[in-house]
Amino acid sequence: MEISVNLAGRRVLVVGHAGRARHTIARCVASGARVYLADDGEPGDARAVSSVVRVIVPSNRLEWKTLVSSVDLVVSVGVDSSTTDALERATREARIWLTTEPPSPTLPIGRVTLVGGGPGDGQLLTVAALAALREADVVFFDRLGPVARLAEWAPGAELVNVGKTPGHHAVNQTEIQERLVEAALAGKTVVRLKGGDPFVFGRGGEEVIACSRAGVPVTVVSGVTSAIAVPGAAGIPVTHREISRLFTVVSGHVPLSENELLHLAGLGGTIVVLMGVGTLPHLTAGLMRAGMSASMPVAIVEKGFSTGQRTTRADLDEIAPLASRLGVRSPAVVVIGEVVRLSEQLDVTAATFLQDAAAELTTD
């Protein structure tokens, strides 16, 4: 069974080596506890211990009992069996809660986890994503990931923005890769947080290759991709029985070739375009040239899962001028296909998401 306790203002004694207990300490400090550290090892990791009070490790039963009696909770992290025995006895006698946390890794080199953060709503982060963030020493993020509650999800981590910020260019891809590798080689547990899924137009593959080449262990946590979730948030299923049995996800970053347009129009399923606002006039004209009906329904869903989510719908021959008139902007997902008509019936999903997003904004 798991229970949550509010540690704000409580005294927590962490028993274990500072370096190996660094994530536990960071989480306790982040939750507002006053943290005391009984460290029986070498002088530890300065980052983790700067905000704790070190106490002398007791040498006998009475000293242990006195120490644990002066706190509200004791957390043991990777201690030896004689310390475990002493702690168990002392906390039992003093009737103080004792919990055990797994030690953080102290590898000579760290590791990188590429984490898909989903389309922006914290509720669409996976359990694996939250676990990776919880253990991170450093998180490299950009604006497309879910970032509003990053400090809470990764309490022990340094947060580094590698995306565009007002007045600053985005850090370029080669430099991001260098920084991931450099941090891992310095022994850190590194998370690269990305919007959606790392392998859908996210350059995740390049980052995996860069880490592997440098001998840095790297793993990938899949995320909920905007290609499916953002249409879904607007009440558009990318497939639907008897309407569409395939969907193709395309990047609109550069215009499609005539050959690509021809094949796309010939497939007869749903077309989902990411990064497609800039090339929309080229795409719609090209699909019509390739034989797609001018009355094919199209939807553009902007800023999915935010209070600014907006859906613009029109037929294929009318969507580009309408989008320009309405000032449709990136990030947006373009959906082309008969499934768009379903949004009139299914838009209830969209309404729920928007209500939830608004509620989250007001409670944060």
Candidate ranges 24-32, 68-76, 296-304, 316-324; the one touching ligand SAH (CB under 6 A): 296-304
Q: Which residue is nearest to ligand SAH (CB)?
A: 196
State the chain's maximal CA–CA distance in angstroms: 86
- CB neighbourhood size of 102 (10 A): 11
CB of 309 to ligand SAH, least distance (A): 7
Amino acid at 1: M
Name the token pair of 262.
């021809």
Choose, by CB under 6 A, the member of 26, 49, 200, 316 that binds ligand SAH. 200
Choose, by CB under 6 A, the member of 96, 332, 336, 340 that binds ligand SAH. 332
In this structure, what DSSP letter does residue 206 have? H
Choose, by CB under 6 A, the member of 132, 190, 230, 320 that binds ligand SAH. 230
Q: Is 330 in the site for ligand SAH (CB under 6 A)?
A: yes
- Closer residue to ligand SAH, CB minimum distance, 153 or 201: 201
- Closer residue to ligand SAH, CB minimum distance, 195 or 237: 195
Name the token pair of 264.
């796309």
Candidate ranges 11-19, 65-73, 127-135, 221-229; the one touching ligand SAH (CB under 6 A): 221-229
Q: What is the distance between the alpha carbons of residues 55 and 278, in angstroms, rounded to a whole number?
A: 60
Choose, by CB under 6 A, the member of 10, 143, 303, 341 that binds ligand SAH. 303
Active site amino acids = 142, 164, 275
CB of 225 to ligand SAH, least distance (A): 3
CB of 332 to ligand SAH, least distance (A): 5
CB of 292 to ligand SAH, least distance (A): 21
Choose, by CB under 6 A, the member of 304, 312, 339, 353 that binds ligand SAH. 304
Q: Is 19 in the site for ligand SAH (CB under 6 A)?
A: no
- Nearest to 285, CA basis, from 318, 254, 327, 260: 318
Amino acid at 234: A
List, in order, residues 6 or more apart from 231 with CB less than 8 Å away: 237, 238, 272, 299, 301, 333, 335, 339
**157-192 per-residue burial string, b: 16 or more CB within 10 A, e: under 16:** beebbbbeeeeeeebeeeebbebbbebbeebbbbbb
Q: Is 333 in the site for ligand SAH (CB under 6 A)?
A: yes
User: Binding-site residue total for ligand SAH (CB under 6 A)?
Assistant: 24
CB of 251 to ligand SAH, least distance (A): 7
- Closer residue to ligand SAH, CB minimum distance, 67 or 220: 220
221 Cα distance to chain centroid = 9
- State the distance between the two ends of the chain, measured CA to CA, in whole angstroms: 27
- Closer residue to ligand SAH, CB minimum distance, 134 or 203: 203
> How open is the CA angle 154-228-294, to the nearest 5 degrees?
145
Q: Is 331 in the site for ligand SAH (CB under 6 A)?
A: yes
**315-332 per-residue burial string, b: 16 or more CB within 10 A, e: under 16:** ebbebbeebeeeebeebb
Window 20-79: residues binding ligand SAH (CB under 6 A): none
Window 92-131: residues binding ligand SAH (CB under 6 A): 119-120
State the virtual CA torsion across 25, 30, 33, 36 in degrees, nearest 10.
Answer: 20
Q: Is 275 in the site for ligand SAH (CB under 6 A)?
A: yes
Q: Please answer whether residues 16 and 39 qualify as being in contact, where contact means their C-beta atoms are separated by less than 8 angstroms.
A: yes
CB of 233 to ligand SAH, least distance (A): 8
Name the token pair of 359.
């509620």
Q: Is 195 in the site for ligand SAH (CB under 6 A)?
A: yes
Q: Is 197 in the site for ligand SAH (CB under 6 A)?
A: yes
CB of 304 to ligand SAH, least distance (A): 3
Binding residues (CB under 6 A) for ligand SAH: these are 119-120, 144, 194-197, 200-202, 225-227, 230, 274-275, 301, 303-305, 330-333
